[in-house]
Every structure is written in C-alpha cells, then in structure tokens.
Amino acid sequence: MSSSPTFADVQAAARRLDGIAIRTPLLENARLNAKLGGRLFIKAECLQRTGSFKIRGAYNFLACMSEADRRKGVVGWSSGNHAQGLAEAARLMDIKATIVMPADAPALKVANTRASGAEVVLYDRVKESREEIGLGIAKKTGATVVPPYDHPWILIGQGTTGLELAEQAKALDVTLDAVAAPCSGGGLSTGVALGVKGISPSTIVHAGEPAGFDDMTRSLARGVKQRNEKLSGSICDALLAPEPGDVTFPLAQKVLGPGLVATDDEVLDAMEVAFREFKLVVEPGGAVALAAALAGKLPVKDRSVAVVCSGGNVDHATFARALARPVGP
Amino acid sequence: MSSSPTFADVQAAARRLDGIAIRTPLLENARLNAKLGGRLFIKAECLQRTGSFKIRGAYNFLACMSEADRRKGVVGWSSGNHAQGLAEAARLMDIKATIVMPADAPALKVANTRASGAEVVLYDRVKESREEIGLGIAKKTGATVVPPYDHPWILIGQGTTGLELAEQAKALDVTLDAVAAPCSGGGLSTGVALGVKGISPSTIVHAGEPAGFDDMTRSLARGVKQRNEKLSGSICDALLAPEPGDVTFPLAQKVLGPGLVATDDEVLDAMEVAFREFKLVVEPGGAVALAAALAGKLPVKDRSVAVVCSGGNVDHATFARALARPVGP
C-alpha cells in the first residue's frame, strides 16, 4: 500500500470485508424528499455488526497484519464503538484482544466488549492514561496497537462504507451531488471520500461535526491542524477526538469539501426524524451529518445527497430525549 | 392466476415489485445468537417504504388491475399501515386513491396518507361503518376496493417478503428450520409461507399473534375459523382482525405450522431488544414474531430461525414504554 491511501486500497479492503461487514442499505423517504425538494439518502451503518461502522476498519487492520503479529494479539483503547468493533473483529479472526476502557464507561458497552471475548482492562480516567496502559500491554506482550482512526489500514476499511454507498446510488441511477459523514478523527470521512470519489469523482464529500468539536472543519478552513478547546461536553460522545489525525488530515485536505457543524439540538431532532421516518435507531454522533442536512447546512433542494448514519449505540435515556423533541411539520 | 395462490405467483409479484419495494436486509446479532444458542435472523421490513410491508401487497394489487379499472381509481379502509401502503402505491402508479380512516386515527397517520396524495374520508368509528362508506364510494365512482389482506393479489405481494428472506438465508448458506411472521388476517403469514417454502420446503412457517387476538392460532388448531372475543385492547394495533380471511385460512391450513402467541409485555421486551441489539424501530404488531422467539415459544437453540419484523409505525409514547422496560442480562 502506498503512503497515501487510494481508491484501489479501499477496493482491496472491500474484498477483505466481503461476507464480514454487512452491506447496509441506502434508504430514502418519499415524504421527506417531497418536503426537502430533493433526494436525501441515508447509508444505514447503524445496522452494521456491533452497531457501528467501526468493525470495517478494525477487521481490515487485522486482516492486513502478518500472521506472526496476529498470534501476539492486539490492544486498543476506546470507551465505545471502536472497542466493540475491534473486539468483534478479533473474535471473528480468532485473535486475542485487550481493550483498555474507562472504569466509568457504560456497563453495557463494557459487557458488549467482553461478550466478544476481549479482555477488558479498566482504568481511572482522571488518574491514569489509557495510552500508557495500552502501550505498556503492547510492550509486554508484543501485541499490536490498533488505533481508532489514524492509520491507513483503518481509514481504507472505513472507506468501504463510501464505496458501497456510491455503488448503491449508481445502481439507482442517481448521481450524488454531495455526501456527508460524521467526523471525529477523520478516519470515516476521509475513507468515505476515497470510496465515493473513486466511483463518482464529481461528488463533494463533507465531514460533519458537533458544535464546539469542529476541529476538522476549522483545520480545513485554516489549512493547518486546529485543536478543540474542550474534551467533553457534546451529546455526540463518539466524536470527541481533540484534533485531526496525522494520517487523516493531509488526505482530508485533498478529498474533503468544507466541514459542516450541527448543534446538539439539531442532532436530537435528526435522531427523531430517523426514528419517525426511517425506523432507525441512530446515536447522537451517528446523526450529525443527517442533522446538518435537515438543518439546511447541507442543501438538499434540487439535489441528490447522501449522509452516513454511522452508529446506533445510544443508551435508552438519551434516545428518550430525542423522542421527546417536538415533531416538525 | 389459479384460485389458490402458488409460489410461481409470488415470483411473478416479485418481478412486479422489482425496483419498487426495498429489498430489506436480513440481520442477525452475534451476541444475541450466543445467548440464544442458535441463529436468529430478523427480516427488517420496518425499513420498507411507508414503514411496513403493506406496500408490497397494495402495489402488486394495483399492478394486476386492468388499465381501465386503474383509471377509475381505488378505495380502501384502514387506520394504519394498509392506508399508507395503498396511498403510496397509488401515488407511484399515478392512480387516484380514496382511503376511509377513522376520525380518531393518529393525526400523523392521516397526514402521512394525505402526503401520498390520497383523498382521506374520515368516519365516526361508533356511528358509521367504514365498509359501507368505502363500498358507497366504489359504487358511485367505479373505483376498485383494495382489501387489506383477503385477496390473492394482496397475499402474493406480501409473500415476496418470504421469497426475499429465503433467498437471503440461502445466500448465507443457512437452511432455516423455522420462520415466523406477524398475523392479523393472514395475508402476510400465508404469503411468507408460500415464498419461503418455494425455496426451502422443509422450513416450518408460523403465524405470530398477540394474546387475546389469536384467532388464526385457534382456527388452525381447531380446523375451523374462530373469532376473537374482543375487537380492541392489545398494544398490537395492527393485528386486530376479528378472524382469518376466506382466502387466507384455507391456504394457512396447508402451509402454516402451529401459531405462536405473545403477550403485550413480551412484545414490549422484543421492541427493546430490537432497539438495543438491532438498532431498529419496530412497532408492537411488527414485533410479535420476534417476541415469540425471544420468549422461547419459537425455539432458537441449535436451530436457525428467522422472524419478520413487519413494521415500524409506532408513536413516540409507545416506543418510550418499550425503552423503559428493564434490560435483560
């Protein structure tokens, strides 16, 4: 693989993921389209194994490792979707996985990660560093660190989401004007751009981010990496990476259009629309691109636009908040 | 078409629905499978256009009508999914549709039906008969009545759900031991049985019903049509037909195994599992077959079983009730 990932790399990842990743559906809604005056498609990646797209990158990473490295296991850190995706990918490939998770992570996410057979090491968010713990395990056992986004093998795995999306749109004879995908560190959004543009070069691909955590949007606008001021405080718990990655940002500058930013309220409204019109359970971070489209920040009128709804791992109380939003006209 | 519908009729309906009905995904969940000790698949028909399988039968019916009849329009009565499915099918075929709906039907369902361009005629549930009103419109305008289930054209349209499901299982190299589908008048369950058995003759197909509204289950057991005592009072608002149909019952006797019955609490639990593990919004009536499987009434252990989740048109308050159910181990 070349140093900067290409469309051919995404195609190779798609072959590795064939029969492993679910080919999630590309859905639209006639009523919503009529209201928006265009066509809005959802790539329903919340229906993916483990409830998010993360298994694509994790599995592709493991499949790219040498057999010798695989025998020594893998280690990762995550409080959420990457933990579950990596644990399940490792189970499918019969590789030992150790996941470092915060002691205050939701019990269900810890249980889910353990249910995939991973060893979970809990740490204290305030007093300890998960990187230190993870790197310590790697050093001691020879396990390979599987990063959440900033690696070409991860990025091209996530990119298969975009490849599928573009193929599905093409099968419908639709030329997409724009695609938007949620963005934390940039693995999904840059991967999706590679996958989409390999099939449909004219399509503009946008990263969607939560207000206050728009590091990629600002970095693209300024041409140099920007950090978020805060590390927590958005309902989009999956999108809190502090800055774009060293692998993802240079690629983002080549393949992404301007970023899109949605507020927490717009995200909750989008979750309600996904519930009511699409019958999908979408988590806050997974709904941020949809939120941008519904809030008019990604125009749909007289256009064909697709958004990736990247995950559905939302707790009951947060989903109930979305259900309580006033229903629009 | 022969008087008793066949697998070939379902195949013909599938050709009519090609590009119209969404090929909804067949989903499974590794964690749930491990817990159940077998493989449980969900045919996610809640993701279908208009949020339920009903558009399959309605569209197939309209496609089977003569051009002359189509010009005179169609009329139907329904408070829910058939109204939306028929209205949207008529819109797609540019046919005038009149739908008779109760004046106290949820505002959203009336609005959705109107949004598809249908004329909605409201009636008083207590003082008026929707059949009389509908038949009156048909007589006056020459419109064709499109029944909700008791017609071969409807039944074979719904049966395409089963055909797809069986094809999808086969593509996974899975031989299904059993399939279960929600049952009100029997259009979906008998259609699904035709579709499934044409591909996988050894698969047993069951109708799933809500407790207290198990007319099909009792009718199959007694060998003669039985009526429900009550006409309302289940959370499964889509499954309240008073007795099996004249077309569906004789076929049900040939193609269905014993019926399955789930309580309202089991249905709410199933909706919670669909939310948490499958990221799907399933309405109560749509979840009754899943409920039977999760409650152990349709054994999954050491078997491969598929259930149809037939719709997702649930209001916010009812879904919030499902979210409030205690989460199982």
Q: Which domains does chain A have, with CATH numbers?
A: 7-53+151-323 (3.40.50.1100), 73-142 (3.40.50.1100)
Query: Burial, B241: exposed, middle or buried (Cβ in 10 Å; 0-12, 13-18, 19+)?
Result: buried
Answer whether residue A119 shows pLDDT above 80.
yes
Q: Which of A279, A309, A323 has the most B C-beta neighbours within 10 Å, making it the best mutation to test the interface with B?
A: A279
Q: Which residue of A has its CA nearest to B318?
A: A323
Q: Please, what is the average pLDDT of chain A?
A: 95
**Smallest CA–CA separation between A128 and chain B, in Å?**
30
Q: Please, what is the average pLDDT of chain B?
A: 95
Given pLDDT bands bounded at 50, 70 and 90, which one contains residue A125? confident
Answer whether residue A194 shows pLDDT above 80.
yes
pLDDT of residue B1: 52
pLDDT of residue A122: 95
DSSP A52: B
pLDDT of residue A104: 84
CB contact under 8 A, B327 and A316: yes
- Per-residue pLDDT, averaged over A123-140, amounts to 93
Query: Burial, A98: exposed, middle or buried (Cβ in 10 Å; 0-12, 13-18, 19+)?
Result: buried
- Per-residue pLDDT, averaged over B122-151, amounts to 94
**Smallest CA–CA separation between B251 and chain A, in Å?**
32
Q: Contacts of residue A30 in chain B, CB cutoff 8 Å?
A: 49, 88, 91, 116
- For A110-119, give one letter per residue: b (16+ CB within 10 A) or e: bebbebbebe
pLDDT of residue B166: 98
Q: Which residue of B has its CA nearest to A112?
A: B31
Alpha carbons B257 and B234: distance in angstroms, whole number: 24
Answer whether residue A1 shows pLDDT above 80.
no
- Per-residue pLDDT, averaged over A115-120, amounts to 94
**Smallest CA–CA separation between A47 and chain B, in Å?**
6
Of residues A238 and A138, more confidence is placed in A138
**B99 vs A: CB within 8 A:** no
Angle between helices B7-17 and B54-64 (to 10 degrees): 90
Q: What does the pLDDT look like over B273-312, one tens digit per residue?
A: 999 999 999 999 999 999 999 999 999 999 999 999 999 9
Given pLDDT bands bounded at 50, 70 and 90, which one contains residue B270? very high
Interface TM-score (ipTM) > 0.90: yes
pLDDT of residue A109: 83
- Per-residue pLDDT, averaged over A64-71, amounts to 98
Query: Burial, A74: exposed, middle or buried (Cβ in 10 Å; 0-12, 13-18, 19+)?
Result: buried
CB neighbourhood size of B50 (10 A): 26
Given pLDDT bands bounded at 50, 70 and 90, which one contains residue B126? confident
Q: Contacts of residue A112 in chain B, CB cutoff 8 Å?
A: 31
CB pairs under 8 A between A and B: 79
Q: What does the pLDDT look like over B152-192, one tens digit per residue?
A: 999 999 999 999 999 999 999 999 999 999 999 999 999 99
**A116 vs B: CB within 8 A:** yes
Query: Burial, B303: exposed, middle or buried (Cβ in 10 Å; 0-12, 13-18, 19+)?
Result: middle
**B299 vs A: CB within 8 A:** no
Q: Flag whether the pTM goes above 0.90.
A: yes
**How many helices (H) and strands (E) would you count in chain A?**
14, 10
CB contact under 8 A, B112 and A22: no
Q: Which residue of A has its CA nearest to B27?
A: A47
- Per-residue pLDDT, averaged over A157-181, amounts to 98
Alpha carbons A84 and A65: distance in angstroms, whole number: 19
CB contact under 8 A, B279 and A275: no
Answer whether residue A243 shows pLDDT above 80.
yes
pLDDT of residue B327: 78
Element (H, E) at A175: none
pLDDT of residue B328: 62
Q: What's the maximum distance between 2 C-alpha atoms anywhere in chain B?
A: 59
3-state secondary structure of A308: strand
Q: Which residue of A has its CA nearest to B92?
A: A30
Of B82, B79, B80, nearest in space to B90 by CA:
B82
Q: Which residue of B has its CA nearest to A321?
A: B320
Q: What does the pLDDT look like over B29-76, one tens digit per residue?
A: 999 999 999 999 999 999 999 999 999 999 999 999 999 999 999 999
Answer whether residue B227 shows pLDDT above 80.
yes
Answer whether residue A266 shows pLDDT above 80.
yes
- Per-residue pLDDT, averaged over A169-178, amounts to 98
In degrees and rounded to multiples of 5, residue A28 shows phi and psi of -140, 170
- Per-residue pLDDT, averaged over B72-99, amounts to 95
CB contact under 8 A, A25 and B27: no
**CB within 8 A of A192, min separation 6: which ones?**
A158, A159, A161, A162, A165, A179, A181, A205, A308
Alpha carbons A55 and A24: distance in angstroms, whole number: 13
Residues of chain B above pLDDT 90, percent: 89
pLDDT of residue B232: 87
Residues of chain A above pLDDT 90, percent: 89
- Per-residue pLDDT, averaged over B121-128, amounts to 90
Q: Contacts of residue B112 in chain A, CB cutoff 8 Å?
A: 31
pLDDT of residue B108: 79
pLDDT of residue A79: 77
Answer whether residue A52 shows pLDDT above 70.
yes
